[in-house]
Structure 1
């Protein structure tokens, strides 16, 4: 008669099974190497590094940026650009980027990109002029192409910074007047402006604003954002006008958000479709204050629609 296995044998067998299963689940595959790495000296003491997103068999969880072989920044997966500050003027630097996944696997380093910081201009307090005639166009479903007229400066424009609403999302060399912005979400309104910057870290006023709406994702209805938002700044007030969304029914209510916070609810009663509406916004803030303004409408089904493009005004 065959004897039953002893307890130690059973424990050993269970451990082998668990070890085998753990080995099967272990992620040993590294993400792809980040591509399209660029490094742009945006001042005498800072460099702007950017790269294209990597991919992984599970998910990329972050990026590591190296300066001359030394890690100087660790970033989440959603970030593919960073400013490296506190550098030495008139100095050559080299940067590489590696992607990381949840298991800690690191990609191969990207090819090293060299860049030199310019000479400092400590006495330069004059900002560049405003970039002119910003235009943009959709390029596929998740990216846009922007172009503008060059700014001028008493020394030299070292970079152009691209802003989406009030967040800088991209930078290009001061010799460039075009940019490709990638990684956008479908069915979303984006508002872009450009500022010129010099080696003294002086930034120009904002260019004109360009609004672009990416195509809706499959199965999602039409965009429900108010459109054509315009403003006129007066002393102590801002006059707003916009077109309510087409929503197969009457629009009676809008929310006005300032600097990301609900400021007031605007109620008129039924607004005829295709009619531009206006609102006077009283502003108690001191002159020079920057305010970011956007709206959304309450739809006929009781839900709030998409936000309009954002406008940034400077109080008089």
Structure 2
């Protein structure tokens, strides 16, 4: 029988065919031996292919598990679905110009332990991360109509966390809807509280809560989900049209106008000025009374009125009330008495205010002061101008004013003019140019707040950096405790 020497060559992932040194295939091998060799080769090849499939399957499972874990973390974490929160209505398109939150209403996460900690005042509605949600006016956001009393609040959780507690706050009666939400706007005690004690909730969480029945109109409800295993919390604001007393009518009256004064008088007229009122929905007008008689109604943005057709050398009393769109009327302002001048008209203007100066600077405000003007009869007021725009009018006894709402690192020009009872206006003071400070990101120092090392605060217009963690107390002001604070 022809016999040749054969070799079985191995390659990665299996075996080559049985081959002789001369390259012939399986010649001179008995049929039975060939079958045995074929079976051995097939068995070994099958094992190799099986191992490959097993490894690939394990890798696929691992990638799928990793993907699920990663997706669960990335989609964190939950929002108030019903009644729909501000961010939820952004997602639905009912609130517009919301920024990134419209795509991720579940992401309103910030440091927890509210109200001692958490987002700074003015940034609560956006959890300190989404500035579009900070905006606050009576008509900026779509409102959810809600009856006072028992209501169900439903959270939709995209990633479940061990939970310490849930808290629900509501804005106070008489809160100002024209300013971003701050802690001082909220009732200090939650109207609803649920302690989960570290339990992990389901994907849907329902709370039965009794919403206050002592107020109606536009209010904010703040829901806070405190997380047990991260120290963070989620903050959701609901814009609510609260209905009580069996109606949907706003029954909250505006606050009283303040600081009513006579800014000018002539022999036949008295000019009045006052400070704005606030309302839970919005002030729509002011009613001006001479004695008990209503003499005029001006718009909600008008803060002055000239009562004319009067008698010379006569005393008149005045008061002002504010009203809202629902017809609610505030209590009266302070009452003042103003006397028209005699037959001789005063035409002499006061002297110009002197030494206009800045006494304090922040990133958003400039405090001004000036020296008093003189007048042949008497100075009744000072008008403060930013550029050519009248900012405010203060009484003749006030020699200071703080201009707020300014932009950081920006130069502004100011002048002041004096007025007398006859309406004569002085020349402008010397022009003053002043620049706001840079925005350091520091918030004002407050009592009973937990501070961490590296936190920045402002105190008496000075920026301080926290040196070690602590909870602030009265007497521990940054200027008084160098062990806790250092000037930045």
TM-score, normalized by length of structure 2? 0.34
More strand by share: 1
More helix by share: 2
| Structure number with bigger Rg | 2
Q: Which has the higher contact order (CA 8 A, sep 6+)?
A: 1
